[in-house]
Amino acid sequence: MDKILEGLVSSSHPLPLKRVIVRRVVESAETPLSQAQCRAMFALSTRLVLQGPDPFQRQVGRQVLEAYGRYHRAEFEAFFNRGLVLGLLQRGYGELSNRDPAILDYIQAGLRLIMSCPSVLELFELLQVEALRLVCERPAPPLCARLCQLLGDFPQCLPRGRKLSLAFCQQLVRSIAHFQSQGSREAELRLYVSQVTQVSGLLRSVWKAEPDTLLPSLQELFAVISAADTSFEPSVALASLVQHIPLQMITVLIRSLTTDPNVKDASMTQALCRMIDWLSWPLAQHVETWVIALLKGLAAVQKFTILIDVTLLKIELVFNRLWFPLVRPGALAVLSHMLLSFQHSPEAFHLIVPHVVSLVHSFKRDGLPSSTAFLMQLTELIHCMMYHYSGFPELYEPILEAVKDMPKPTEEKIKLILSQSAWTSQSSSLPSCLSRLSGKSETGKTGLINLGNTCYMNSVIQALFMATDFRRHVLSLNLNGCNSLMRKLQHLFAFLAHTQREAYAPRIFFEASRPPWFTPRSQQDCSEYLRFLLDRLHEEERTLKALSSTKTSESIMNEESQKQEAVHKAQVFAEAPCMGSGERTLIEKMFGGKLKTTICCLNCKSMSQKEEAFTDLSLAFCPPTSLENVGPKCVERSEVKDDYVVQTNTSATSPAGETLLNNLEVNGGCDTIMNEGTIKDFSTEPNSENTTNSELSKVQDNRDMSQRLVGKNTLSVTDLLNYFLAPEILSGDNKYYCEKCASLQNAEKTMQIIEEPEYLILTLLRFSYDPKCHIRRKILDNVSLPLVLELPVKRATSSLAVVSGGWSVGVEFSDIGENLAKKLKPSGADEVTCPQLVPYVLSSVVVHSGVSSESGHYYSYARNVTGSGPSGLCHQSTALSLVSPQDKLLTEESPCTVVENELDTEMPREWFLFNDSRVTFTSFQSVQKITSRFPKDTAYVLFYKKQNSTCGFNTSSANGLWVNGDPPLQKDLMDAITKDNKLYLQEQELSARTQALQAASASCSFRPNGFDDNDPPGSCGPTGGGGGGGFSTVGRLVF
């Protein structure tokens, strides 16, 4: 029969005839045959299966083998023995190599035929050994896939015992690492992918059956991809294994990997780069999950050098994967994480910027729903990066044009995404006893390091930084080549906005801005520092403008090069947006207002008026005893200028009225209480005259206000401002010298705000001197802070004989009533001014913690308030109004009631608490309740922003493009920040490695934070702020 069959299959008869005869031969397998005949048929069929020259002969061989093996099982068992199988696996068959997959096909067919025979057990043992040997020889993908298929069908052939099983898994991992596709056509690639899937599927089965083999297999996998051998590049096919690793193991594996001291940086970098390459592998699941997990794990242990190197090496490759739909989801996830976490420098983002537009256009051309969804995600990512790295309009304008039709995320969403994605925001996986080396807090804000009782400066700088319009003006100034204080403030603001550090040390700015009479490392008055700082900035800008003007005029006669130099210097401050009209400085535009003081002689009815500039208003507390006895406003000290008693403390005056009056204050106190002004006079004219002690009294009509003030449990800022603006009578020892009467006369004095500032700064005069007890004390009264207030501004509607900065004397109004002194109505006020209520919203609050002026601590509450105010804060109907003191001295509605109503609409996480290095989220309730919770902590300096005003500040066209609210930074500033961010990451990494080495012996008995939850937010040294330095002279009084 075998001879007939052999002759038939090799004959030239037609193929249909051959098939008919083969069918007859297969059917005759049921007939009894001798052992020799059976063996001849098995030998022939084996030869046809393994060496058949064409598919027909190989098919005939399989059919005959299966038929005769089934009906003559005993004979086949004797034929298909250990010797045959071992020979096939080790030597092959004739010219057929032992590494040909056909060998395994034949063995698998034979195993199926003898599954019920006892000898199969011997073959299983043989195959267990041979399978391990085969994988150790690094079989090609077809052979390995065929072996895995055999082992999958016959798991009894898998190596047994932990040692052999583990070795098999590890060697199979290494075999996959050697896989390479033999073709580039789609059919060949699909076959290659299916073969790899077959092998990884077997590993999954083994891991599931024997979990102990999983971790060693993964260790072997990491050893392969972390190898530094440049002559061997592991196959991307290893990506197929990732989908079979349980996601529940991510935390444990990543922690073990990132904290293992035996894993060198070079190995980790190599491994991570190769894992990112795996994103190219189609159909693999969870690759992006593991890549992102490893990136986060490295960030948590501050291994930033690896992250920087890998990101810069692979960011373009990851971006290019977005062109391929099969791997696009994973590539976009990794790209998003890499870009959003790389926040210390624009370098990584700018590597992909040139390729964004073409990809966007490709997505648009597709028109597929999936492409549109990916485009929306990509657009959001790009907007986040352009917001974070503004200042490159030439790079970003084409992108903005390409995505102009796509939705843009809100600024709040962008900030949230950025704050959650930074490397320094990743939770640490080190033991809990190690202090976490963190970057910015979840607020995204940067603290200021206390350089030794410098909390007075830190609190003021944070309040100025959070004054959004002022910050944007400062950052937009072109100050290249200028070493001014404004340049240093710009540098400080830029670092606060863009540094990765949790807190920044403002040493350079501190040394440049510290008043010369401030003793280093001793506590100072933040209000005094603020006035000095604003005055310095103002005077500096005036000087530079005057200098640039002179240079410009001289350059007309000079050569072209000198002309360009002068023009450049003239633009130092003039190039900023919203410089407005005239020669007003930035400080005047932001914080400058004007106050008009009018004195009316009650005898001859003549009036004297004077206008003065201010940058802050100092609001006094009038003691209840004074209120009850002499009315709501008492002045113990006054300045006499030009025979006129002025209730101001000026730090800068000029005949032209151009220099700022840094402080306007009402010295509230009578009999035993006296507020002392110790502000240095930087530019006061030498003809300033002596001061006199005086006492002012009010008539009975105004005592109603006094009684209401005394009866209130809690004063409000409204009350203090009303008291500041209330008219007063100059009488007794404080009579006014009237030039027209040529004698001392009783007079009425009124103060009116005639020009409101963009930012209204209010200082609450909490420190007073008791001459009887010879001590300085702090007024700890709680003051209610309205979220929204309305400031009465009296703008002139008719021309008066008023000289700016001087006095207009002898102005008379014939229609003034005789009972003016009794009514305390300002003479002629209705004829010359019209009241307008200007709304303001609370921006910042500087708090003083302590019981005296000689010690304590400053910290500040603040929020971002733009020109139009934050969302939901325009409570026009419930605003706390400061009405005209001539019409109504105190609002009837309780401020506390209105504030409580406002709290209901407060935006969540809108307020920040800046306490030196620490920045945390807080709420307006905390601001209002700080004094009731901690009696020593009281509001001291308040910043209010004028509502619905942008000062002409265009945030969309500065230098062609503003991507976010803040202007783009100058190149030198961005370079400095990038350099410092890299240095910071290196510092973090070094500290983390040092702590990791000390972790085993570190004690965990200490409290990581060192703070008591019941402590007040303020702390500045062991003595609660003074730190032993304290105030050394009377010049340290806080007002």
Spatial separation of the C-alpha atoms in residues 650 and 616, rounded to whole Å: 11
User: Does an H or E element contain 646, and which?
Assistant: strand 644-646
Instruction: Give the pLDDT of residue 564.
Output: 53
Helix/strand/coil for 715: strand
Instruction: Give the pLDDT of residue 853.
Output: 66
Spatial separation of the C-alpha atoms in residues 694 and 1007, rounded to whole Å: 56
Instruction: Give the pLDDT of residue 554.
Output: 59
* Residues 6+ away with beta carbon under 8 Å from 451: 505, 506, 507, 510
CA distances to 128, 942, 992, 1010 from 593, rounded to whole Å, are 92, 16, 51, 44
CA distances to 534, 545, 652, 746, 939 from 525, rounded to whole Å, are 15, 30, 19, 37, 13
Instruction: Give the pLDDT of residue 713.
Output: 65
Per-residue pLDDT tens over the stretch 549-586 = 776 655 555 555 554 554 454 444 444 444 444 578 99
Instruction: Give the pLDDT of residue 961.
Output: 45
Per-residue pLDDT tens over the stretch 437-450 = 445 677 888 999 99
Instruction: Give the pLDDT of residue 1019.
Output: 52
In the predicted structure, residue 752 carries a pLDDT above the cut 60: yes
Note if 455 is an active site residue: yes
| Lowest-pLDDT choice from 313-327, 956-970, 990-1004 | 956-970
Furthest-apart CA atoms within the chain: distance in Å: 153
Helix/strand/coil for 753: strand
Note if 604 is an active site residue: no
Other CB atoms within 10 A of residue 811 CB: 18
* Comparison of pLDDT for 886 and 910, the residue scoring more: 910
Spatial separation of the C-alpha atoms in residues 694 and 640, rounded to whole Å: 11
Catalytic residue among 634, 857, 875, 1020: 857
> Contact, 112 vs 162, CB < 8 A?
no
Which of 95-99, 865-869, 946-950 reaches the highest mean pLDDT?
95-99
Query: What is the band of 616 on the pLDDT scale with cuts at 50, 70, 90?
Result: very high
In the predicted structure, residue 287 carries a pLDDT above the cut 60: yes
User: Across the chain, what does the average pLDDT equal?
Assistant: 76
Instruction: Give the pLDDT of residue 674.
Output: 34
Spatial separation of the C-alpha atoms in residues 650 and 692, rounded to whole Å: 16
Helix/strand/coil for 881: strand
Instruction: Give the pLDDT of residue 955.
Output: 46
Query: What is the band of 1017 on the pLDDT scale with cuts at 50, 70, 90?
Result: low
Instruction: Give the pLDDT of residue 901.
Output: 47
- Nearest-Å Rg of the Cα atoms of the chain is 43
φ, ψ for residue 813, nearest 5 deg = -130, 120
Instruction: Give the pLDDT of residue 2.
Output: 66
In the predicted structure, residue 705 carries a pLDDT above the cut 50: no
Average pLDDT over residues 961-978: 74
Average pLDDT over residues 757-765: 94
Average pLDDT over residues 490-512: 91
Per-residue pLDDT tens over the stretch 116-169 = 888 889 999 999 999 999 999 999 999 999 999 999 999 999 998 889 999 999
Instruction: Give the pLDDT of residue 556.
Output: 53
Instruction: Give the pLDDT of residue 950.
Output: 57
* Structure-derived torsion over alpha carbons of residues 316, 376, 865, 857, reported in degrees to the nearest 10: -50
Average pLDDT over residues 338-348: 88
User: What single letter denotes the amino acid at residue 457?
Assistant: M
Spatial separation of the C-alpha atoms in residues 905 and 972, rounded to whole Å: 42
Helix/strand/coil for 288: helix
As beta bridge partners, residue 792 has 837
List of E strands, 495-634 = 503-504, 593-601, 607-614, 617-620
Per-residue pLDDT tens over the stretch 528-541 = 999 999 999 999 98
Which of 33-47, 676-690, 806-820 reaches the highest mean pLDDT?
33-47
Per-residue pLDDT tens over the stretch 730-742 = 898 888 899 889 8
Please work out, in degrees rounded to the nearest 5, the angle formed at the alpha carbon of residue 98 by the alpha carbons of 92 and 102: 95
User: What single letter denotes the amino acid at residue 280?
Assistant: S
Catalytic residue among 38, 455, 526, 600: 455
> Contact, 572 vs 478, CB < 8 A?
yes
Instruction: Give the pLDDT of residue 483.
Output: 85
Instruction: Give the pLDDT of residue 551.
Output: 65
**Positive or negative: CA dihedral 259, 264, 266, 270:** negative
Per-residue pLDDT tens over the stretch 173-200 = 999 999 998 788 888 889 999 999 999 9
In the predicted structure, residue 430 carries a pLDDT above the cut 70: no
H-helix segments, 680-737: 703-711, 717-725
Q: HSE on the CB side for 853, CA within 13 Å? A: 26
Query: What is the band of 998 on the pLDDT scale with cuts at 50, 70, 90?
Result: low
As beta bridge partners, residue 610 has 597
Instruction: Give the pLDDT of residue 274.
Output: 92
Instruction: Give the pLDDT of residue 967.
Output: 81
CA distances to 141, 176, 189, 234 from 179, rounded to whole Å, are 6, 5, 12, 8
Other CB atoms within 10 A of residue 949 CB: 18
* Residues 6+ away with beta carbon under 8 Å from 210: 162, 165
In the predicted structure, residue 630 carries a pLDDT above the cut 50: no
Spatial separation of the C-alpha atoms in residues 660 and 683, rounded to whole Å: 10
> Contact, 646 vs 807, CB < 8 A?
no
Share of the chain above pLDDT 70, in %: 71
Spatial separation of the C-alpha atoms in residues 746 and 600, rounded to whole Å: 9
Average pLDDT over residues 865-889: 43
Give CB contacts under 8 A, 24+ apart, made by 333-336.
333/288, 333/292, 334/276, 334/279, 334/288, 334/291, 334/292, 335/381, 336/377, 336/381
| Lowest-pLDDT choice from 763-772, 892-901, 968-977 | 892-901
* Structure-derived torsion over alpha carbons of residues 165, 166, 170, 172, reported in degrees to the nearest 10: 10
Query: What is the band of 694 on the pLDDT scale with cuts at 50, 70, 90?
Result: very low
Average pLDDT over residues 1002-1018: 40
Burial class (CB in 10 A: 0-12, 13-18, 19+), 432: exposed
DSSP assignment letter at 809: E
Average pLDDT over residues 24-35: 82
Residue 761: closest CA among 910, 922, 590, 611 = 590
> Two tokens at 64?
């005959």
DSSP string of 332-362?
Answer: HHHHHHHHHH--S-SHHHHHHHHHHHHHHHH
Instruction: Give the pLDDT of residue 888.
Output: 39
* Comparison of pLDDT for 367 and 484, the residue scoring more: 484
Spatial separation of the C-alpha atoms in residues 937 and 62, rounded to whole Å: 94
Which of 49-63, 705-719, 1020-1034 reaches the highest mean pLDDT?
49-63
In the predicted structure, residue 892 carries a pLDDT above the cut 70: no
Residue 236: closest CA among 225, 223, 247, 248 = 225
Task: Output the pTM of the full model.
Answer: 0.59
> Contact, 435 vs 451, CB < 8 A?
no
* Comparison of pLDDT for 671 and 716, the residue scoring more: 716
Instruction: Give the pLDDT of residue 947.
Output: 87
List of E strands, 785-936 = 788-796, 808-811, 833-849, 857-863, 880-881, 911-915, 918-922
Instruction: Give the pLDDT of residue 893.
Output: 43
User: What single letter denotes the amino acid at residue 20?
Assistant: V
203: left (phi over 0), alpha (psi -120 to 50) or beta: alpha
Q: HSE on the CB side for 717, CA within 13 Å? A: 31
